[in-house]
Amino acid sequence: MTLKLAFRHFTRAALLASLLSATALPARSADGITIFDWSGYEDPAFHPAYTEKYGSEPEFSFFGDEEEAFQKLRSGFRADLAHPCSQSVVKWREAGLLEPLDTAKLSSWNDILPGIKAMKGLMSGADGKADFLPFEWGNTVLTYRTDKVKPEEVASLKAFADPKFKDRVSIGDNVDDAYALAALAIGLKDWTAMTDDQFKQASDFLREVHKNVRLYWTDNTDISQAMAGGEVDLAWAWNETATTLTADGVPVAMKKDTAEGLSTWVCGYVRLKGGEGDEAAQYDFLNAITDPGISAYMVESWGYGHANAKGMAAVDPKILADKGYADVDKFVSNTLFQAPMPIELRQKMIAEFEKIKSGY
């Protein structure tokens, strides 16, 4: 974010704090809507039309990862909208947490990027009812300090397990990103069909990576500070990390052309059952964040792609090229999409990843 989503960053926080001290935002409405979100996405620049119409900001409550959010919602926490990502949608759907969307009330529903629409089980359940509105998409990609690591040393994702990088590596404390890395490293592009043998191979790879890990980062602040401070030279990180660190003058780069590729995730918004906020306001917020006018800001300031195809097509070609989105089809051709996976497989990943991080 010059400002994951997902997404917290210390330079962006400083910038936002200075802006808030100079220009107070409108007071939050007492009878508005509540949004359960990743920290950082409360950014007013993502929903200006909503603020203009209501004269206030929505209420935001934050979670650190989707499993935490899931458990909190299952325990009775109430909100109107939430911001899960592709790999969690099926679990949330099958747990009965989601309220169907009335797509006739979504002004940009038909403008969602075709590649996102094609992800099986993402936007609609088996009953055909739509319940997920894509918002942003991005990558988890090999990111490295260019003053300490040569490009040829990170030509493969297997570099994460190379003993030469002992205590210089960081990957996210995030089971989805971790297994996306491992799946790619063993040559697998579709994790939804992962076999037991492939799961073992992927887990064994993560155990080798664990030997080199200095830090399992939990948010973008962690990894950004670690790379800026010289603690970490090689990271499996979101687009945001390189975007913001480069803006701050830190010598980092993303290696998008590794032999095995990179991982692409899609996040978006859902309506939650039991939400008590005004329904019209919920749809106004959803329409504000998917307005094509948001695309340029998303790409330039956060380094992520926006789900609105018309908006992406209107972004300055130079900006798209700088961020790697000049040819979206080519960009995602060598990627593992973090598509919804069988719940049993994800639960197995969660349990195994905890063992790996503990050294077992």
pLDDT value of position 60:
97
My answer on whether 218 and 87 are in the same domain is no
My answer on whether 203 and 111 are in the same domain is no
Task: List % helix, strand, coil for the chain (3-state, nearest 5).
Answer: 45, 20, 35
For the chain, the distance separating the N- and C-terminal CA atoms, rounded to the nearest angstrom, is 35
My answer on whether 287 and 327 are in the same domain is yes
The Cα 151–Cα 299 span in angstroms is 25
DSSP string, 52-100: HHHSSPPEEEEESSHHHHHHHHHTT---SEE--BGGGHHHHHHTT-EEP
Which run of H or of E encompasses 216?
A: strand 213-217
The Cα 79–Cα 36 span in angstroms is 6
What is the count of structural domains for the chain?
Answer: 2
My answer on whether 274 and 254 are in the same domain is no
- Interior angle at CA 232, CA 230 and CA 234, nearest 5: 130
My answer on whether 186 and 254 are in the same domain is yes
Residue 315 Cα distances to 139, 289, 296, angstroms = 19, 16, 5
Say which CATH number the domain at 272 has: 3.40.190.10
My answer on whether 170 and 244 are in the same domain is yes
pLDDT value of position 39:
86
Q: What is the pTM of this model?
A: 0.77
pLDDT value of position 308:
96
275 and 181 Cβ atoms separated by less than 8 Å: no
My answer on whether 109 and 36 are in the same domain is yes
The Cα 185–Cα 260 span in angstroms is 6
My answer on whether 176 and 223 are in the same domain is yes
The pLDDT profile of the chain, 360 residues, written as one tens digit per residue, is 333 433 333 333 333 333 333 333 333 344 589 999 998 899 999 999 999 999 999 999 999 888 899 999 999 999 999 999 988 888 899 999 999 999 999 999 999 998 888 887 889 988 899 999 999 998 899 999 999 999 999 999 999 999 999 999 999 998 999 999 999 999 999 898 899 999 999 999 999 999 999 999 988 889 999 999 999 999 999 888 998 899 899 999 999 889 998 898 899 999 999 999 999 999 999 999 999 999 999 998 888 899 999 999 999 998 888 877 777 666 666 788 888 888 889 889 999 999 999 999
* Residue span of the structural domain in which 188 resides: 138-263+338-357
